Amino acid sequence: SFQITFNGKENKIFNGVPDWVYEEEMLATKYALWWSPNGKFLAYAEFNDTEIPVIAYSYYGDEQYPRTINIPYPKAGAKNPVVRVFIIDATYPDYVGPREVPVPAIIASSDYYFSWLTWVTDDRICLQWLKRIQNVSVLSICDFREDWQTWDCPKFFVSTPVFSYDAISYYKIFSDKDGYKHIHYIKDTENAIQITSGKWEAINIFRVTQDSLLVLFSFSSRISIGGYPPRKKCVTCHLRKERCQYYTASFSDYAKYYALVCYEIKILEENKELENALKNIKLPKEEIKKLEVDEITLWYKMILPPQFDKSKKYPLLIQVYGGPCSQSVRSIFAISWISYLASKEGIVIALVDGRGTAFQGDKLLYAVYRKLGVYEVEDQITAVRKFIEMGFIDEKRIAIWGWSYGGYVSSLALASGTGLFKCGIAVAPVSSWEYYASIYTERFMGLPTKDDNLKHYKNSTVMARAEYFRNVDYLLIHGTADDNVHFQNSAQIAKALVNAQVDFQAMWYSDQNHGISGLSTKHLYTHMTHFLKQCFSLSD
């Protein structure tokens, strides 16, 4: 082995591994190093957190004194990590040493992010950079110069590409003139040629071979194979529609073989004894439909009790996430807490994808830009009113719950003053966007400055609506060791409610992070079940 870096320092300098905010909100990996295909070069990122403010919280454990956990955590508007990318020749690491890859001038002129690196060939790399405000994305293509032992980056493009075999032309997904994400083909500096089109969205390009594209589409959940000019062949369209409507895929290196992965109910064993024991247990029914409201399509999934009778009245629980680019309404099989509530407690569950959610075009997606906490909440309220009109919802027994971003939306819905909700639960909610991570928050809200979007930062807090919780039953839950959405968020909600003399319930989970795991999980769901049964006047 050979040591490459010598400047690493805990919570200050990270080499080859991301700091907290890059791991959580940008790279989504625990590594920040990339080998070239032939193993000659190693690229890695350095993150300098020296000037980043630190979040500190107590970890109680079993000792006489709690430990204090310190994490560099840039919140909206705060100092960000300084990132640099280096490449070293692993053949002679002590001869040349790491070479820094230059940041494009258009990006380096102000605060920026490094978002990914791809090896195109053994001596060509592609790096993606973002301005801090995240409305400009630049892709630089760098070639190794043997004579100077440096990386030259004369070309840059916008957005993320999937390169063709010629290592020059590439395919990428971006919005077309109608506002839907589709695949385009770009060769050097020529205009982009649109490959796919329609009122649906391409999600991912799995593989580009010498004569074909392999693509995952939204909603239709199809994988298309087509060459250029476009020729399409649908692989999944006629495969057991009654069994599977939600696919992903995995391809071999040259895409000669692929495995379709279906999220379906699978029989792994006969388990006759277990089957007989479960005969009296009935699973809820599920249906996916859409609501048309003011030229907006709201997709929803409704989970109905096994013996559902539309002539009767049922309590309704809205489960919400609602964050930008998310999707809750999916044709995927899963058993969870809400399955229990529908089958055992006779509660109708509904999940609604409103404005800001993914795969329905730019108009819906960007509706929440710089206005978080407005349309996501309005659409949940609109959906509830439509559900009441269906005739089988008891309008005096309606609740809403959510976790993380969903806890934020559920809190704002409860404080909307509509009188629709009797009770609700917020688990680990954001309460003010000034408390959350810079990369995520500024992507959707801009900066919390007077000359940018400070006014909406202030107007969109849960605390600003404390008075409106007076007429609802509110259960607030948080883990004290949450390194993602800090306990500070719920502490501020609780303080505002106390100052407003509003009664509420709260449950803190000591030393639990954002996921609230282990034995705390059972306690959490048991506690929430009791709360809902009390709210809906259901017997134990």
Catalytically annotated residues = 404, 482, 514
Distance CA 522, CA 343 (A): 18
Residue 249, phi then psi, degrees to nearest 5: -150, 160
Cβ atoms within 10 Å, residue 55: 18
Residue 452, phi then psi, degrees to nearest 5: -120, -95
Which pair of tokens denotes residue 337?
A: 């807490």
Nearest to 22 by CA among 33, 9, 37: 33
Amino acid letter, residue 283? L
Return the bridge partners of 249, or none.
Answer: 260
Distance CA 374, CA 242 (A): 38
Distance CA 355, CA 320 (A): 13
Q: What share of the chain is helix, strand, coil (3-state, %, to 5)?
A: 20, 35, 45
Which pair of tokens denotes residue 82?
A: 């300084």
Asked if residues 493 and 462 have their Cβ atoms less than 8 Å apart, the reply is yes
Asked if residues 532 and 525 have their Cβ atoms less than 8 Å apart, the reply is no
Q: Dihedral of CA 170/175/178/183: which sign? A: positive
Asked if residues 116 and 27 have their Cβ atoms less than 8 Å apart, the reply is yes
Distance CA 199, CA 360 (A): 8
Nearest to 221 by CA among 330, 298, 138: 330
Complete DSSP assignment for 340-356: HHHHHH--EEEEEE-TT
- Residue 382: CA count within 13 A, CB half-sphere: 20
For 183, 195, 359, the CA distances from 202, given in Å and listed in that order, are 7, 10, 8
Contacts of residue 443, defined as CB under 8 A and 6 or more positions apart, other chains included, come to 134, 324
Distance CA 412, CA 355 (A): 15
Number of helices (H), then strands (E), belonging to the chain: the values are 11, 29
Give the pairing of strands 258-262 and 82-89. Answer: unpaired
Which pair of tokens denotes residue 368?
A: 């929440």
